[in-house]
Amino acid sequence: MRPGALPSVRRVVTAIGKGGRSFILEDGPPPVTREVQERPGFRASNLWRTDDTPAPIDAEDYVHEHHGVMPPARGTVLRVIDYPPRHPDPEERKRQAAATFQRLYPDMRHDVESPRPGMHTTLTVDYAIVLKGTITALMDDGECDLHAGDILIQRGTSHGWENRTDEFARVAYVLIDGR
C-alpha cells in the first residue's frame, strides 16, 4: 500500500429474513476493487448496482459483473474512488489519466486533448460525496474545491477530478442513468 493510502472501504448489506425481520447479510470489503498500475494509489471500488427503477429491494448482488463507468440502462452504480495526490509532472498526469480510462473506463468519452487530464462526459446524474480530504472538481469553464462533507451534483456535464493536496482524498459516487 502506498504511504498515506486509505484503508479499504467497508460495505455492509442488509436483508429481510424470516418473519420480515431485518438483519446484516454481509459486512466486509467491497466485492470489486480495481487499481491502475500506471497511477499508483488510485483505487476504484464498486459497492452496489441496480438494473431498474424502481429498484427491486431484494435483488441479488451482482456488482462483480459491472465494468466501466456507466450504470446499466435505468439503473445505478455506487462507487468509491480513492485519489492519490496528483503527480507534479503534467505529462505524467496525462499518461495516468489515459491509462485509467483505457483500463477501467473504456465506455467513456475521455478528452485526451484537454489541457485538464481526465476530462470526460457521462449521460448520468451523479451525486459525488466527498468522504475524506479535498478534491477539485474541474469543469470546461471553472473549478471548485470540495472538502469532506461537500456534495456535488453532476448533471451530464464535461468534468474531471484532481487531488491537489498532499493527502489522499476519497469520494463516493452514485451514478444514475440519465436521458
Residue 15 belongs to a domain? no
pLDDT in tens, 15-55: 999 999 999 999 999 999 999 999 999 999 999 999 999 99
Residue 24 belongs to a domain? no
Q: Are strands 76-83 and 43-50 parallel, antiparallel or unpaired?
A: antiparallel
Backbone region of residue 90 per phi and psi (left: phi > 0; alpha: psi in -120 to 50; beta: other values): alpha
Counted domains in the chain: 1
From the number of C-beta atoms within 10 Å of its C-beta (0-12, 13-18, 19+), residue 43 rates as: buried
Residue 26 belongs to a domain? no
Give the residue among 68, 175, 75, 172 at the shortest CA–CA distance from 126: 175
Domain housing 77: 31-177
Residue 124 belongs to a domain? yes
pLDDT > 60? residue 1: no
> What is the domain-level CATH number for residue 107?
2.60.120.10
Task: Name 179's Cβ contacts closer than 8 Å, sequence gap at least 6.
Answer: 123
Residue 111 belongs to a domain? yes
Q: Which residue did the predictor score with more confidence, 72 or 3?
A: 72
pLDDT in tens, 114-160: 788 889 999 999 999 999 999 999 999 999 999 999 999 999 999 99
Q: Which residue has the cell 497511477?
A: 39
- Mean pLDDT estimate for the chain: 93
Q: Going along 4-157, which residue ranges are E strands?
A: 11-16, 22-28, 32-35, 43-50, 76-83, 109-110, 120-121, 124-132, 134-139, 143-147, 151-155
Residue 113 belongs to a domain? yes
Residue 119 belongs to a domain? yes
